[in-house]
Amino acid sequence: MKEIPLYIHIPFCRNKCSYCAFYSCINHSQDIEGRFIDELKKQISSYMTLTVSDTCNTLYIGGGTPSLLKNDNLKDLLNFLERYIGSNLQEFTIECNPEDINNEFIGLLNESSVNRISLGVQSFSDHVLKASGRIANSKSVDKAINCIRESWKGRFSIDIISGLPGQTAEGQKKDIEKAVNSGVDHISCYSLIIEENTPFSDDPKLLEDREDEDLLWDICRKALLRRGFEHYEISNFCKKGCESAHNLQYWKMNQYIGCGPGAVSMTGIDGIQRISNPHDLNVYLKGSSVNWSVQVEDISVKDFIFENYMMGLRTASGIDRREFHRRFSRYPEDFINMTILSSPEKTFKLTDKTLSLSENARLFMNSILMKISDELETLKIDFPVHWP
Ligand code: SF4
């Protein structure tokens, strides 16, 4: 029985948030939504067959705004996915926006195999939400959280963005307090990145007026650590044992499939390949994705090894040495000896099972990755690669 992680991208939103660079469409018709679900189901079946997979060990429905789907369409999709859910299902997450949460919606999720909600809160302050183009306000956020607490049977995570325009140190602290007090077991805390071609990138004044983003993010980090959350990945915090199983698949560089426009797959069917779907709903609806015929990028072994460091060292648990050895016939420390020796003491932690970075080193990992990249330049690939 072969298992694979599955990511599903739902490309619809009510409006575009001012910081968001993800592909999504607004004002879509019900007809388009139905046609999209049909095409999506075809792509999922096709990719499960192409990767010779029977079931999904983790699933993640993201977007876009999955909670914006009409209940009938969501039900149709969830029913369809049941055929890929085996007894080993670890996690099935759906991303939701606060304005979509009500008892009927939660009831629908409770009847399905979904076992984790990821709620896009971003901030609890009205002026910050408004300045970021969010639809939700503090009232609808509170209402959504209360509804989840009262009716939802599964796990619950919240997304927060630090350093949004109008945010202050005091406000940032309050956002984290409110998020923790909502009873979540997981908080993703992203520092605002100004992406190209977003309303924020067209507003240089906004950048001048912002509080120090590193300071605001560090306020979040310290507050979460104080409240007993573990900082298990650069932007992710959780209560003990509540890591996101699906996202861990990416950080471990496991094979996965992504369906829906805007989704990406990483597979080892024909060499190591990253396969991207068209970021265009109309093209997607013509069925171009079904036959694996979309944009395919071949990843060289050297680049793939680098990505194993880049992703694995993001996590507190680090790189699994045995799995690395299975993939490359060497342990992770073998390829980056010089980097380890030339780094300050305690930058790297080497145990029987893992190679990882210290909490402090993870905060400055870009410079470490540059050293690793330079050292890998000289690497001779004279060994077989076993992946996935
Ligand atoms: S942040 Fe979420 S809701 Fe806002 S535009 Fe992006 S995908 Fe849509």
Sorted by where each begins, the domain ranges of the chain are 3-250, 301-377
**Between β-strands 348-350 and 354-357, what pairing exists: parallel, antiparallel or unpaired?**
antiparallel
| Amino acid residing at 222 | K
Instruction: State the Cα–Cα distance between residues 157 and 204, nearest whole angstrom.
Output: 32
The whole-number pLDDT of residue 363 equals 86
Indicate the top mutation candidate among 8, 15, 22 to test ligand 1's pocket, ranked by most ligand atoms within 8 A of CB. 22
C-alpha closest to that of 33 among 5, 60, 79, 64:
64
Give residue 16 CA to ligand 1 midpoint distance, Å: 6
Percent of the chain with pLDDT over 90: 92
Which pLDDT value is given to residue 351? 98
Please, which residues bridge with residue 296 across strands? 275
- Give the angle 272-278-283 at the CA atoms, nearest 5°: 140
The single residue listed with the structure tokens 């699906």 is: 246
pTM of the model: 0.96
Mutational pocket test of ligand 1: of 8, 15, 20, the residue with most ligand atoms within 8 Å of the beta carbon: 20
**129 CB near ligand 1 (under 6 Å):** no
Is 20 near ligand 1, meaning CB less than 6 Å away?
yes
- Strand residue runs (E) in 302-341: 319-320
Q: Cβ(62) to ligand 1 under 6 A?
A: no
Give the residue ranges of the chain where pLDDT is below 50: none
Range 301-377 has CATH code 1.10.10: yes
CA of 96 to the centre of ligand 1 (A): 10
- Give the nearest ligand 1 atom to 19 CA: 1
CA separation, residue 67 to residues 47, 163, 304, 338, 355 (Å): 24, 26, 34, 48, 39
pLDDT at residue 203, as a whole number: 84
Out of 9, 10, 13, 140, mutate this one to test ligand 1's pocket (max ligand atoms within 8 Å of CB): namely: 13
Greatest Cα pair distance in the chain: 60
> Could you tell me if the CB of 354 is within 6 A of ligand 1?
no
Partners of 151 in beta bridges = none
Nearest CA to ligand 1 atom 2: 64
The single residue listed with the structure tokens 């912002």 is 210
Q: Measured from the CB, is residue 161 less than 6 Å from ligand 1?
A: no
**Burial tier of 380 (Cβ tally within 10 Å: 0-12, 13-18, 19+):** exposed
**Cα–Cα distance between 4 and 266 in angstroms, integer?**
11
Q: Which atom of ligand 1 is nearest to the CA of 16?
A: 5
Amino acid 356: pLDDT: 98
Q: Report which protein residue has its CA nearest ligand 1's atom 6.
A: 20
Which DSSP helix (H) or strand (E) runs through 160?
Answer: strand 155-162
Task: Report the distance separating Cα 346 and Cα 139, nearest Å.
Answer: 46
Rg (CA), the chain: 21
> Which uninterrupted H or E stretch holds 275?
strand 273-276
3-state helix, strand, coil in the chain (%, to 5): 40, 20, 35
Neighbours of 170 (CB within 10 A): 9
Under DSSP, the state recorded for 29 is: -
Does 3.30.1330.60 match the CATH number of domain 3-250?
A: no
Q: What are the structure tokens assigned to 257, written together?
A: 């499939």
Cα–Cα–Cα angle for 12, 102, 94, rounded to 5 degrees? 45
User: What is the structure's pLDDT at 204?
Assistant: 74
